[in-house]
């Protein structure tokens, strides 16, 4: 018996040792949440909902969750004051106040640095994550718009200053943005000296935000950066899917410990591009590559903003068939090196079906010309080579940029035009306005405004032949425009009256084998006061009344359906419009096409 007891005691001691060792491997962790409520809380209560998620989460003993609140006219729950900055710790499923401060702007570097210093010194841990919560506007607009201080916001330089002063030499395990459009190269550049991992979205985030229970669970476990980032991204996408809002969702995890190599590759890429765009063909190659890369965000009209996927543009330019004229040899090596550096740095991207071409990091590139915006970027960018590139492309707006050598003729059943040779230096894209013909023979309400993909960029010849198709939203004819084009997804938009309010509706056209399928993304919400998109695209729901012109429908119980249908028999007009880098347009003659319901019978100009 003594022998058995000895073995039993030895076994118990071994188990106890294993348990202690297991506990010792679990890192002490602090999650710091910089919660700038803004209009997202005062109008919609979204911050309160995310606080509730944290209160319902099982926070282990080795973890502290610390929140600073501010930036909001009116908090909707938890008795959070709007006239003070308040600090809380989440303990035993309760929000425990640990301090209040005089009201200060959450859009100031000093407010951020003070919170970081408080959190890292009061709750020191093996690893610390900082999460910035609010509206986001990407590289130019920053994040954390404080309602109490005239929507003052944290710019990228202010974020960098707040991190440097608050951390005082310490380093974060991760920095995250539960905010729109913050997965940008320039954001990563600002965060890289201070954190190992960046988790952010290239796109407009869904209103419900991150999955905070999953964040707490993953952050408290001994996971490596890739596993941590992957878990956060996948949990966010799953949360979006649960509410039917995953189509345009994306969240990425970026290894900032590799940013030095990424920055070196980016600088070499920008330097080579500076040389390439000195000749028209090199500039044209860059324009085509940028146009073919997926873009993100929205402007007040519902079109995309000037943030494009950096890996996409690098991969486009890395193709061997890009060559420049005048005897100059193109240099795709730096583009390939940048694509490889991005592939190594971006650890994981969780994408909805309409964002499957997103590769993890965006970069500012002015596909839509705005002189003030360009000047603001040039003052912000830390890359001399890239500043030189953008400045060289847009510093001078010549009186003559693009023109039509042939302003339109019919050949092979298509309207065809040719741009002048001088146009190749300045052309941005060519689009087609396709309309029903009015009784007086002029173009009527556009059926579609789409990019012309059937073009020869070597000869600058472009053509468009009608497809004989229209798009219907639950049987309602859609007049739509193309907001973005990428390898496998087109983003489309339509203006219509929704419940008697003018709205921009966004939907996606996606490759499905040899055909296309369509999926709604939702109503674009843009905050004109802030100049940034609000969180969320709001899907059409059963009972919504949609009116376009005199026709209207009520969305049915199963939600909206977008489908192709044959055009009605009749006469249609088509006009090709070339747009230069500065937004100037030249238009072709108007062509008229006759359709008998199944075939195009004639075309005239």
Q: For 50-103, what is each residue's pLDDT tens digit?
A: 999 999 999 999 999 999 999 999 999 999 999 999 999 999 999 999 999 999
Predicted local confidence at residue 279, as pLDDT: 84
Predicted local confidence at residue 320, as pLDDT: 56
Predicted local confidence at residue 265, as pLDDT: 98
Maximum distance among all alpha carbons in the chain? 109
Predicted local confidence at residue 485, as pLDDT: 87
Helix, strand, coil: what percent of the chain each, to 5? Answer: 30, 35, 35
pLDDT greater at residue 278 or residue 130? 130
Q: What does 230-285 look like in DSSP terms, one character per residue?
A: HHHHHHHHHHHHHTT--TT-EEEEEEGGGHHHHHHHHHHHHHHHHHHTTSHHHHHH
pLDDT greater at residue 421 or residue 10? 421
Query: Averaged over 500-527, what is the pLDDT?
Result: 91
Predicted local confidence at residue 503, as pLDDT: 95
Out of 326-330, 341-345, 350-354, 528-532, least confident range: 326-330
Q: Write out the H or E segment, with its range, that includes residue 506.
A: strand 501-512
pLDDT digits (tens, 9 = 90+) for 458-499: 899 999 999 999 999 999 999 999 999 888 899 999 999 999
Q: Cα angle vertex 398, ends 392, 401, to 5°? A: 100
Report whether pLDDT(597) > 70: yes
Buried b vs exposed e over 185-203: b needs ≥16 C-beta within 10 Å? Answer: bbbbbbbbebbbbbbbbbb
Query: Averaged over 162-182, what is the pLDDT?
Result: 98
> Strand 427-437 to strand 414-419: parallel, antiparallel, or no bridges (unpaired)?
unpaired
Share of the chain above pLDDT 90, in %: 81
pLDDT greater at residue 276 or residue 149? 149
- DSSP alpha helix (H) spans, 277-401: 280-291, 310-318, 333-345, 371-380, 384-394
Out of 112-126, 514-528, 587-601, least confident range: 514-528
Q: Cα angle vertex 400, ends 397, 401, to 5°? A: 70
Q: What are phi and psi of 365, to 5 degrees?
A: -150, 120
pLDDT digits (tens, 9 = 90+) for 2-38: 333 333 333 433 333 333 333 446 789 999 999 999 9
Predicted local confidence at residue 321, as pLDDT: 53
Predicted local confidence at residue 142, as pLDDT: 97
pLDDT digits (tens, 9 = 90+) for 538-594: 999 999 999 998 999 999 999 999 999 999 999 999 999 999 999 999 999 999 999
Q: How far apart are CA 235 and CA 251, in angstroms?
A: 10
Query: Averaged over 303-315, what is the pLDDT?
Result: 93
Q: How far apart are CA 244 and CA 238, in angstroms?
A: 10
Query: Averaged over 361-378, what is the pLDDT?
Result: 95
Predicted local confidence at residue 28, as pLDDT: 95
Predicted local confidence at residue 10, as pLDDT: 38
Predicted local confidence at residue 9, as pLDDT: 35
Predicted local confidence at residue 331, as pLDDT: 65
Report whether pLDDT(422) > 70: yes
Average pLDDT over the chain reads 91
């Amino acid at each position: 018996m003594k022998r058995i007891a000895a073995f039993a005691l030895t076994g118990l001691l071994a188990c106890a040792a294993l348990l202690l060792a297991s506990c010792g491997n679990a890192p002490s962790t602090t999650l710091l949440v910089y919660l700038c409520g803004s209009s997202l809380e005062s109008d919609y209560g979204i911050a309160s909902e995310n606080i509730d998620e944290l209160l319902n989460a099982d926070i282990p003993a080795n973890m502290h969750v610390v929140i600073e609140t501010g930036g909001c006219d009116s908090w909707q729950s938890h008795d959070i004051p709007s006239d003070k900055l308040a600090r809380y710790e989440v303990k035993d499923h309760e929000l425990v106040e640990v301090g209040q401060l005089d009201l200060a702007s959450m859009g100031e570097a000093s407010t951020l640095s003070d919170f970081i210093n408080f959190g890292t010194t009061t709750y020191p841990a093996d690893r610390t994550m900082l999460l910035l919560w609010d509206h986001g506007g990407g590289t130019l607009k920053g994040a954390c718009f404080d309602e109490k201080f005239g929507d003052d916001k944290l710019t990228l330089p202010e974020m960098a200053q707040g991190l440097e002063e608050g951390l005082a030499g310490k380093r974060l395990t991760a920095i995250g943005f539960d905010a729109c459009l913050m997965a940008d190269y320039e954001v990563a550049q600002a965060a890289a000296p201070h954190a190992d991992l960046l988790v952010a979205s290239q796109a407009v985030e869904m209103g419900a935000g991150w999955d905070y229970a999953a964040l707490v669970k993953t952050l408290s476990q001994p996971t490596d950066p890739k596993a941590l980032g992957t878990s956060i991204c996948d949990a966010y996408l799953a949360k979006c899917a649960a509410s039917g809002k995953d189509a345009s969702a994306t969240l990425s995890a970026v290894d900032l410990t590799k940013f030095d190599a990424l920055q070196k590759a980016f600088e070499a890429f920008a330097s080579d591009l500076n040389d390439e765009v000195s000749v028209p063909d090199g500039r044209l190659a860059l324009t085509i590559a940028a146009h073919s890369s997926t873009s993100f965000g929205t402007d007040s009209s519902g079109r995309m903003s000037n943030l494009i996927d950096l890996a996409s543009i690098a991969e486009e330019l890395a193709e061997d068939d890009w060559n420049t004229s005048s005897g100059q040899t193109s240099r795709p090596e730096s583009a390939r090196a940048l694509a490889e550096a991005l592939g190594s740095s971006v650890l994981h991207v969780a994408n909805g079906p309409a964002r499957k071409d997103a590769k993890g990091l965006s970069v500012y590139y002015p596909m839509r010309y705005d002189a003030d915006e360009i000047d603001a970027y040039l003052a912000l960018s830390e890359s001399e080579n890239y500043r030189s590139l953008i400045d060289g492309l847009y510093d001078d707006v010549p009186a003559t940029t693009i023109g039509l050598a042939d302003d339109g003729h019919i050949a092979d059943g298509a309207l065809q035009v040719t741009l002048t040779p001088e146009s190749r230096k300045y052309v941005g894209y060519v689009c087609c306005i396709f309309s029903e013909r009015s009784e007086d023979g002029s173009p009527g309400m556009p059926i579609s405004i789409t990019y012309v993909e059937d073009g020869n960029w070597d000869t600058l010849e472009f053509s468009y032949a009608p497809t004989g198709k229209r798009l219907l939203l639950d049987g309602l004819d859609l007049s739509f425009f193309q907001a973005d084009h990428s390898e496998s997804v087109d983003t489309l938009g339509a203006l219509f009256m929704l419940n008697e309010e003018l709205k921009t509706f966004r939907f996606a056209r996606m490759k499905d084998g040899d055909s296309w399928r369509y999926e709604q993304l939702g109503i674009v919400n843009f905050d004109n006061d802030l100049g940034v998109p609000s969180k969320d695209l709001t899907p059409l729901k059963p009972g919504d009344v949609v009116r376009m012109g005199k026709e209207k429908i009520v969305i049915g119980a199963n939600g909206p359906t977008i489908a192709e249908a044959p055009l009605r028999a009749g006469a249609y007009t088509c006009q090709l419009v070339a747009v230069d880098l500065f937004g100037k347009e030249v238009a072709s003659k108007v062509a008229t096409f006759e359709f008998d319901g199944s075939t195009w019978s004639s075309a005239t100009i």
